[in-house]
Amino acid sequence: MTIRRILLLAFLFVGVVPATALTWLAFERSHAAMQAQIEQAVSQAAAGAGRDLDRLLYERVQNATTWNHLEVMQDLRLQDVDKRLSAFLAQMKGRYGGAYLDLHAVDAAGRVMASSNPAAIGQLRPEGPAWLHTDTAGGRVRLEAPSTVRDRRALLLRTDIPSSFGEGRIGDLLLEVDWRQLESVLDAAADASRQLLVLDGDGRVIAASEGLRGRGYDYGVRVDGWSGVGLVQLRGGEPLMSGEVVVGASGVSILGWRTLMLQSRDVALAPVRRMGVVFAGLLTATLLVTVLASLGVSSLIARPVVRLTQFTRDYLRPGAASVPPRAGPGEIGELGRSFVHLIDELQRSQNTLVQASRLAALGEVTALMAHEVRTPVGILRSSAQMLGGEPGLSPEGAELLRIVQSETERLNRLVASMLDQTRTRAPQKQASDAHALMRHAATLLAAQARDRGVTVEVVCEAREPILDVDAEQFIQVLLNLLGNALMILPRDGRVRLRSHGDDGRFIVDVDDDGPGIGPEDRQRLFEPFVHKREGGLGLGLAVVRQIVRAHGGDVAAETSTWGGARIRLWLPQPPGRTP
């Protein structure tokens, strides 16, 4: 499994699991709170409808117990001969705008003596069987079971009309309350998704909203299993309504009735479902953002690692061009930079080792050649010297002897030069003034520079010239670089030896205004036996690189500001010093 996939799975696990858990927990809490609020709203609506019914009935009862004590009621003793009582009853009926079907005053025998409806005068309206009653400060009010009056259902309220002369009861005040007043209270609180039902203590229907009346649940119908409903309950709605319903119940009224509100569960809990959709959308958006963020972060972290892996593979594959990867973020970028630096150091160490091996092998070969060549050269030189002392030597012979002596001397110098340039040792470092060593090297070559007509300039710009170097080897490096420049430049040429600092490094540039070095030759220039001037062995720059790398630095060929060659070497600055 790739690191990108591992990181992606880890980020998804860390992001998705808590997000899902928190969303589910929040939804459950919100669901419970909202459902409780909905159930409470249903219960409050049922209680509100119950209070409206109580208030309606209470007003009718108050009318009865107030009117029966009025002075006009005493006209019943005189059989309302002047119709004053009938006029009062008609006036009260009109004032209450349809709350009453009719109002009657009946004598003790149950005959209507005064009425809001003149046609009812003289009719017998005896008291029916007892149904309910309520006691108030104005007296007892008896409720007769709802009955049909002129094709309309009415609730009959009957109360005594006391005699003002202490003779007890002179008759009854009969109020025919329009039953539709009760039903309108229920209908106003009902709609297509909720219905209301008023039950007595035995579970019989007192009144119902229009939807239930249409299904046959009207006054007197017994409904089993509903009278004991608590303040709020979730249950099946059959047979009253289809599906599950949320049932809210009012408290018991003064008449022992309870009002039930049946709310369709689907409609009641629709806000909960909408909330669930919102939470699902939020969770989906969260998951989407988490996935996208996880993909981005995992790619951001894994991409530098993948590039670093590819860089390593390319480095290990012969002939492949290994391009250093771009730095990644934070520690990943630091890891990439450190690894590339490690690879560069490894490559540099490998090159140094290869070059050192070449130089070591070259030294052995050179030593063997020097030993094998010096002996016959020495014999030739001695023989030539002896022949030169012989008398009678012809001029031609003397000339040939001088040629032999000259060539043997040249061969001897060549062998000595090869031995000097291939003989290296481990540096013996000590604190040295690099600027002083630079000036000393320029002084050593000053005479040669004058003879060749070349100007040598020393520029010391580094602020801290103290380095831990082998002074002898450092001078050898400078002499090799300056000597190469002097050998290749024509008369009136210029050479500048300049020091400066950069990022913890002490840098020395040897610039000239000669023909320069082509880009294709800059890497090969420091290999043994590669040279650009006549008479050179191609060992000087190879020795320079070996010495500089032994000091922890490096050397490279560039183009000078004059258009010629620049050989730049750098050495590490000792800790705590500013170059």
pLDDT in tens, 353-393: 665 555 555 555 665 566 566 667 667 777 777 777 777 77
Q: 215: pLDDT confidence band, cut at 50, 70 and 90? A: confident
Q: Please give the biggest Cα pair distance in the chain.
A: 200
pLDDT at 235: 54
pLDDT at 406: 77
pLDDT at 390: 72
Residues 446 and 558 in one domain: yes
pLDDT at 537: 44
Q: 81: pLDDT confidence band, cut at 50, 70 and 90? A: confident
Which of the residue ranges 308-322, 356-370, 418-432, 450-464 would you say has the lowest mean pLDDT?
A: 356-370
pLDDT at 66 over 80: yes
Q: Is residue 313 part of a domain?
A: no
- Residue ranges making up the domain that contains 152: 68-182
pLDDT at 458: 95
pLDDT at 63 over 80: yes
Of residues 214, 216, 246, 244, the one with CA closest to residue 233? 246
Q: Is residue 52 part of a domain?
A: no
Rounded to the nearest 10 degrees, the angle between the axes of helix 330-388 and helix 540-550 is 140
Of residues 63, 254, 48, 9, the one with CA closest to residue 174? 63
pLDDT at 371: 54
Residues 411 and 431 in one domain: no
Residues 442 and 554 in one domain: yes
pLDDT at 1: 66
Q: Which of 102-116, 200-214, 229-243, 262-276 holds the top average pLDDT?
A: 102-116
CATH at residue 75: 3.30.450.20
DSSP-based three-state secondary structure for 276? helix
Of residues 66, 132, 79, 141, the one with CA closest to residue 106? 79
pLDDT at 309 over 90: no
pLDDT at 567: 94
DSSP-based three-state secondary structure for 311? helix
Using CA atoms of 20, 22, 23, 27 in order, give the dihedral in degrees to the nearest 10: 130
Rounded to an integer, the average pLDDT of 164-178 is 88
Other C-beta atoms lying within 10 Å of the C-beta of residue 164: 12
Of residues 276, 290, 295, the one with CA closest to residue 23? 276
Residues 568 and 431 in one domain: yes
Strand duo 455-460 + 494-502: pairing: parallel
pLDDT at 343: 74
**The whole model's pTM is what?**
0.50
pLDDT at 548 over 60: yes
Residues 124 and 98 in one domain: yes
DSSP states along 257-275: -EEEEEEEHHHHTHHHHHH
pLDDT at 534: 47
pLDDT at 168 over 60: yes
Q: 536: pLDDT confidence band, cut at 50, 70 and 90? A: very low
Q: Which of 17-21, 318-322, 442-446 holds the top average pLDDT?
A: 442-446
Q: Which of 26-35, 134-143, 303-312, 529-538 holds the top average pLDDT?
A: 134-143
pLDDT at 396: 78
pLDDT at 577 over 70: no
Residue 473: what residue type? Answer: Q
What does the alpha-carbon distance between residue 166 and residue 414 come to, in Å, rounded to a whole number? 164
Q: Is residue 209 part of a domain?
A: no
Residues 474 and 436 in one domain: yes
Instruction: Evaluate whether 548 touches 477 at the Cβ level (below 8 Å).
Output: yes
Residue 188: what residue type? Answer: A
- Which residue would you say has higher pLDDT here, 541 or 228? 541
Residues 451 and 556 in one domain: yes
Q: Is residue 364 part of a domain?
A: yes
Q: Is residue 256 part of a domain?
A: no
pLDDT at 258: 84
Which of the residue ranges 322-326, 347-351, 452-456 would you say has the lowest mean pLDDT?
A: 322-326
pLDDT at 178: 93
Last residue within a domain, chosen from 405, 420, 435: 420
Residues 87 and 136 in one domain: yes
Rounded to an integer, the average pLDDT of 385-404 is 75
pLDDT at 535: 42
- Which residue would you say has higher pLDDT here, 548 or 273? 548
Which of the residue ranges 111-115, 170-174, 232-236 would you say has the lowest mean pLDDT?
A: 232-236
The residue to which tokens 């007192």 are assigned? 206
pLDDT in tens, 120-136: 999 999 988 878 889 98
Q: Say how far residue 436 (Cα) sits from the centre of its chain.
A: 60
> What's the token pair of residue 503?
């990022």
Rounded to an integer, the average pLDDT of 78-92 is 92
Which of the residue ranges 79-93, 135-149, 305-319, 433-447 would you say has the lowest mean pLDDT?
A: 305-319
Q: Is residue 177 part of a domain?
A: yes
CATH at residue 471: 3.30.565.10
- Which residue would you say has higher pLDDT here, 179 or 403? 179
Which of the residue ranges 19-28, 212-221, 331-340 would you say has the lowest mean pLDDT?
A: 331-340
Tally of structural domains, the chain: 3
Instruction: Evaluate whether 145 touches 131 at the Cβ level (below 8 Å).
Output: yes
Q: 402: pLDDT confidence band, cut at 50, 70 and 90? A: confident
As a whole-number percent, the residues of the chain with pLDDT over 90 amount to 30
pLDDT at 98: 87
Q: Is residue 80 part of a domain?
A: yes
Last residue within a domain, chosen from 394, 420, 446: 420
Rounded to the nearest 10 degrees, the angle between the axes of helix 540-550 and helix 471-488 is 150
Q: 446: pLDDT confidence band, cut at 50, 70 and 90? A: very high
Other C-beta atoms lying within 10 Å of the C-beta of residue 383: 14
| 444-452 contacts at long range (C-beta below 8 A, 24 or more positions apart) | 444/475, 444/479, 445/479, 445/482, 445/483, 445/486, 448/483, 448/486, 449/486, 449/495, 452/486, 452/489, 452/491, 452/493
3-state helix/strand/coil string of 331-386: HHHHHHHHHHHHHHHHHHHHHHHHHHHHHHHHHHHHHHHHHHHHHHHHHHHHHHHH
pLDDT at 182 over 50: yes
Q: Which of 3-12, 102-111, 397-406, 414-423 holds the top average pLDDT?
A: 102-111
What does the alpha-carbon distance between residue 352 and residue 341 come to, in Å, rounded to a whole number? 16
pLDDT at 161: 93
Rounded to the nearest 10 degrees, the angle between the axes of helix 330-388 and helix 270-316 is 10
Residues 360 and 471 in one domain: no
- Listed in sequence order, the residues at least 6 apart from 458 whose beta carbon sits closer than 8 Å to its beta carbon are 438, 439, 442, 496, 497, 498
pLDDT in tens, 243-290: 677 777 777 677 788 888 887 777 777 777 787 788 788 888 888 888
Rounded to an integer, the average pLDDT of 87-114 is 93
pLDDT at 423: 58
Instruction: Evaluate whether 38 touches 247 at the Cβ level (below 8 Å).
Output: no
Q: Is residue 328 part of a domain?
A: no
Residues 129 and 173 in one domain: yes
pLDDT at 204: 87
Residues 440 and 554 in one domain: yes
What does the alpha-carbon distance between residue 369 and residue 363 come to, in Å, rounded to a whole number? 10
Q: What is the mean pLDDT of the chain?
A: 81
- Which residue would you say has higher pLDDT here, 270 or 483? 483
What does the alpha-carbon distance between residue 218 and residue 197 come to, in Å, rounded to a whole number? 9
Last residue within a domain, chosen from 182, 203, 227: 182
Instruction: Evaluate whether 256 touches 201 at the Cβ level (below 8 Å).
Output: yes
pLDDT at 232 over 50: yes
Residues 464 and 366 in one domain: no
DSSP states along 417-460: HHHHHH-------EEEEHHHHHHHHHHHTHHHHHHHT-EEEEEE
